[in-house]
Amino acid sequence: YGVTKGMAEDLAHLYARREGLPVVVLRAARFFPEADDDPERRAAYSDDNLKANEFTYRRLDIEDCAEAHLLTVGRAPGLGFARLILSAPTPFLPGDAAALGTDAEAALFARVPEARAIYARLGWRMLPRLDRVY
């Protein structure tokens, strides 16, 4: 997470605490339609495959992102200060962390067995490892 983003959030938190200003920080996961910014991933996976993989741990549907923003506007005064991460629901649980760091595909298929046939039919692969889950 960027240093300047964190500093801006901390400053907003300070004003929320000192001045009673309602502030909600929405950290949106990836939702943009453009191709992945990592050239190695773009070369190794189709765009659809990468985006499907990301929906399991770090992607967000743009309509859900917009809805979250609209819902937050009405609730901000009651929240005071909040930092929220917006992401699609993940199939993974905290206990999956070790497996995700070594064999994300096995972890995915253990949690979503029907994904194995879908990935095989489409010629997709899961990323070998995941370093985070939102």
Q: How many structural domains is the chain composed of? A: 1
Q: Is residue 108 part of a domain?
A: no
Tens digit of each residue's pLDDT (9 = 90 or more) over 73-111: 989 889 889 999 999 999 999 999 999 999 999 999 999
Per the DSSP assignment, residues forming a β-bridge with 27 are: 85
Range(s) of the domain holding residue 34: 3-90
Q: Is residue 96 part of a domain?
A: no
Q: Report the predicted TM-score, pTM, of the whole model to 2 decimal places.
A: 0.80
Tens digit of each residue's pLDDT (9 = 90 or more) over 6-28: 999 999 999 999 999 999 999 99
